[in-house]
């Protein structure tokens, strides 16, 4: 997680995921997640992710 913020019952987080596929090729994903929280539980979530070069940090 690169950054996060909370406003009321909505939380936002910026992500950078990277790793290696089973065939040895690298992958990278960047994006944000937005979640709605109620009574300390996630009630809904949206992920907005897209592939990027694994070395684009």
Q: What is the pLDDT of residue 2?
A: 96
| DSSP 8-state code for residue 45 | E
CA distances to 10, 21, 22 from 6, in Å: 6, 33, 36
Q: What is the pLDDT of residue 55?
A: 65
Across the range 49-56, mean pLDDT stands at 82
Single pTM value for the model: 0.77
* Chain segment 37-49, per-residue pLDDT in tens: 999 999 999 999 9
Instruction: Give yes or no for residue 52 having a pLDDT over 80.
Output: yes
Q: What is the pLDDT of residue 23?
A: 96
Instruction: Give yes or no for residue 35 having a pLDDT over 70.
Output: yes
Neighbours of 55 (CB within 10 A): 8
């Amino acid at each position: 997680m690169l950054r996060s913020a909370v406003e009321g019952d909505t939380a936002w987080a910026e992500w950078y995921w990277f790793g290696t596929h089973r065939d040895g090729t690298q992958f990278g994903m960047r994006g944000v997640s937005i979640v709605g929280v109620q009574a300390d539980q996630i009630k809904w979530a949206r992920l907005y992710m897209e592939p990027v070069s694994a070395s684009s940090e």
